[in-house]
Amino acid sequence: MTASDDNRRPFGITREPNRLPVGPGRAEVTSFDPRYLDFGHYAGRSIEELAKADPGYLEWLAQHPSGARYRGEIARVRLAIGATTRLWPQLG
């Protein structure tokens, strides 16, 4: 299937001055704390909590790009509870 020239034209963007961008405002910006997730289904829960409640999720998170900033905390918690891991076999 080929795209027609009509489908390949740039689309117009109109500015709407009364609309605000979606996202946290300046008052909501806080420093990052790697002990607590700040996104997704488990937002607000600690890595330590998740190590007990859903260890498979932490394995996945440690491998996923969105979990890169939590890898150190995940490793620390897993070592503290004596959990084995495929990612860091030296810890288990």
42-64 confidence digits (pLDDT tens) = 999 999 999 999 999 999 999 99
Name which of 85, 84, 72, 91 is nearest 32 in CA terms: 72
What does the block give as tokens for 18?
A: 């009364």
> Any long-range contacts for 24-29 (C-beta under 8 Å, 24+ apart)?
none
Mean pLDDT across the chain: 78
Q: What is the pLDDT of residues 64-85, one digit of tens each?
A: 999 999 999 999 998 898 876 5
Report the chain's C-alpha Rg in angstroms: 21
**Structure confidence at residue 92 as a pLDDT band (50, 70, 90):** very low
What pTM did the predictor assign?
0.60
